[in-house]
Amino acid sequence: MGIDKRDAELSDNAEQDSMEYLVSYKISPNTSVGLGKIVTEGKNASGVSYSTKEQINYVQVGYSLGAIYGALNYVDAENIAYSSTQDGKAWVANFGVKF
């Protein structure tokens, strides 16, 4: 379980403030699942707040065989780049080796 707060001042004087909420559970010695949400508010370079918040909801499933691991993520995003007409969904697979 976790909460993460991120504040960013961008190079053009714009700002982004994000909160991430995450819950995960190890269902076996090698497998875990997680649910998360990221909510981002922003201001443009003139300091005016955007009228919408970007929201990302995700589900993760991870599997590890020691040094080899993989994760499958499903992401549902709303108001991408603070636009009320930009929504999206995606599947992302990650694989790797730890040394």
Residue range 31-86, pLDDT digits in tens:
999 999 999 999 998 989 999 999 999 999 999 998 999 999 999 999 999 999 99
Would you call 5 helix, strand, or coil by DSSP? Answer: strand
Output the pLDDT for position 53. Answer: 95
Neighbours of 73 (CB within 10 A): 16
Output the pLDDT for position 10. Answer: 85
Domain total in the chain:
1
- What domain range is 91 assigned to? 2-97
**Cβ–Cβ < 8 Å for 22, 36:** yes
Output the pLDDT for position 98. Answer: 87
pTM summary value: 0.84
CA distance 8 to 53: 15
